[in-house]
Amino acid sequence: STQFIPPYTEECRTGMYPPNGPTFRGPVSWYTVDLDSPPSQRWTAVITEKKQDLIRMIQAVRNLANAFVPSGKLIELVDITLPLMANTLPSPFGEEIKGIAEVSGVPLGEVVLFNIFYEIFTV
Amino acid sequence: CTSVVAEDEKGNLLHARNLDFGLFMGWDMKNKSWIITEKLKPLVVNLDFRRNNQTVFKSTNFAGYVGMLTGIKPHTFTLTMNERFTLDGGYIGILEWIMGQRDGMWMSFLTRSVLENATSYEGAKRQLAETKMLAPAYFILGGNQSRQGCIITRSRLLSIDVLEIDVKLGRWYVLETNYDHWKDPLFLDDRRTPAMKCMNQTTQAKISVKTLYDVLSTKPVLNKLTTYTTLMQVSEGKLESYIRDCPNPCMPW
């Protein structure tokens, strides 16, 4: 049973495994990342398949940024400054991020933002 | 996020987590969901990192994100991280970085390098506890033998606390949400209490991957920010992940 007032705490669930029903959206696909290949090429297989989803997610973040700064200046700042940040990141992360931007067509600054979001989000 | 490392009665270590993300980043009134959370779900992938055609480690990631939030070094250790909020936050680390002071590690690059290079639970624990970082964090680490499970509470510069599994004290699991374990969680966001209630109700005798999934499926441990659930068994080198939904009524966080 679920209480119908926040925080909607339920009785401890049982028998939920194997995953099924309304709390289970779907399984997760497996990919291989070959650490012997050059950093810029390691993510090609994953990003080729997930490119559209990545573009949609980045667009959602852009929409959010533009909601805060309608002039678009915030995104402009990201696209101008964060590519410089990519060159300061320790190897192999900078090269891997550049490879992801290359394959996905997403601006490098926005892929960098996605990858350092944890530090930024603590703001 | 909710991460838990548990030791069963045979001394096996199990590690599980809900990854919750997207708070305050746009709410979809019609679908009663967080916009960014819903955009992240299709990006969830399981990755097998290989060198010389051998698995080095495995992880659950968001495609396009090269750092690690959830991973297993098969038969060696398991690692998840949860967000920690303090005033001395990541933005200070970023400012230092921009000013040219670059001796700190970006959180997710630290977890990636630990999974790639550490060869033992103790080695991983030392790196996670001692490396200077740009942002605070909780690292939840499981090993491959009895009593090897801990929560490392990190500030940017220091390891503030390490809470270990200690079966003799009756602490057969350690569980972390997003609050220091020695303080009460924010009353508006108490996922710790229901999670611990369900763990205690499960008991050590019955803890397993299945019952861990039950705990992580119980509201509000499962909430509108939950993108995926991962279950890891270090002794079998096994990682399995599932994309989640939280049917109404459900807490936004």
A contacts of B217 (beta carbons < 8 Å): 13, 16, 23
B48 touches chain A (CB under 8 A): yes
Given a contact cutoff of 8 angstroms between Cβ atoms, the answer to whether B13 and B206 are in contact is no
Q: What is the pLDDT along chain B (253 residues), one digit of tens a residue?
A: 999 999 999 999 999 999 999 888 889 999 999 999 999 999 999 999 999 999 999 999 999 999 999 999 999 999 999 999 988 888 888 889 989 999 999 999 999 999 999 999 999 999 999 999 999 999 999 999 999 999 999 999 999 999 999 999 999 999 999 999 999 999 999 999 999 999 999 999 999 999 999 999 999 999 999 999 999 999 999 999 999 999 999 999 9
Give the pLDDT of residue A2: 63
B196 touches chain A (CB under 8 A): no
Nearest CA to CA, how far is B181 from chain A (Å)?
A: 19
A86 touches chain B (CB under 8 A): no
Instruction: Tell me if A7 and B190 make a contact (CB, 8 A cut-off).
Output: yes
Pairs of residues, one from chain A and one from chain B, whose beta carbons lie less than 8 Å apart: 210
B contacts of A47 (beta carbons < 8 Å): 63-64
Mutate to test the interface with B, among A10, A12, A74 (most CBs of B within 10 A): A12
Quick one: average pLDDT of A49-74? 93
B210 touches chain A (CB under 8 A): yes
Give the pLDDT of residue A55: 97
Of B165, B126, B218, whose CA–CA distance to B5 is shortest?
A: B165
Give, in order, the Cα–Cα distances in Å from A25 to each of A114, B44, B214, B238, B244: 24, 12, 16, 21, 5
Just list the catalytic residues of B: 1
Instruction: Tell me if B42 and A25 make a contact (CB, 8 A cut-off).
Output: no
Q: Using CA coordinates, name the residue in chain A closest to B54.
A: A34
Closest Cβ–Cβ partner in B94, B190, B229 for A119 = B94
A contacts of B237 (beta carbons < 8 Å): none
Q: Is the confidence at residue A7, as pLDDT, over 70? A: yes
Give the pLDDT of residue A16: 96
Give the pLDDT of residue B25: 86
Give the pLDDT of residue A1: 60
For residues A30 and A53, give the distance between their C-alpha atoms in angstroms, rounded to a whole number.
16
Given a contact cutoff of 8 angstroms between Cβ atoms, the answer to whether B241 and B60 are in contact is yes
What angle do the packed helices A73-86 and A93-104 form, to 10 degrees? Answer: 130
For residues B200 and B100, give the distance between their C-alpha atoms in angstroms, rounded to a whole number.
48
- The DSSP code sequence of B193-220 is HHHHHHHHHH-GGG-SHHHHHHHHTSTT
A contacts of B154 (beta carbons < 8 Å): none
Mutate to test the interface with A, among B25, B242, B250 (most CBs of A within 10 A): B242
Instruction: Tell me if B220 and A9 make a contact (CB, 8 A cut-off).
Output: yes
Nearest CA to CA, how far is A73 from chain B (Å)?
A: 19
Rg (CA), chain A: 19
**Peptide bond between residue A19 and the one before it cis (omega within 30 degrees of 0):** no
Closest Cβ–Cβ partner in A12, A17, A30 for B201 = A12
Where residue A6 falls among pLDDT bands split at 50, 70, 90?
confident
Give the pLDDT of residue A3: 73
Give the pLDDT of residue A123: 63
For residues B107 and A117, give the distance between their C-alpha atoms in angstroms, rounded to a whole number.
10
Give the pLDDT of residue A38: 98
B90 touches chain A (CB under 8 A): yes
A80 touches chain B (CB under 8 A): no
Of B49, B51, B52, B27, whose CA–CA distance to B38 is shortest?
A: B27
Strands A30-34 and B44-51: parallel
Give the tens place of pLDDT for each residue, A9-26.
788 999 999 999 999 999
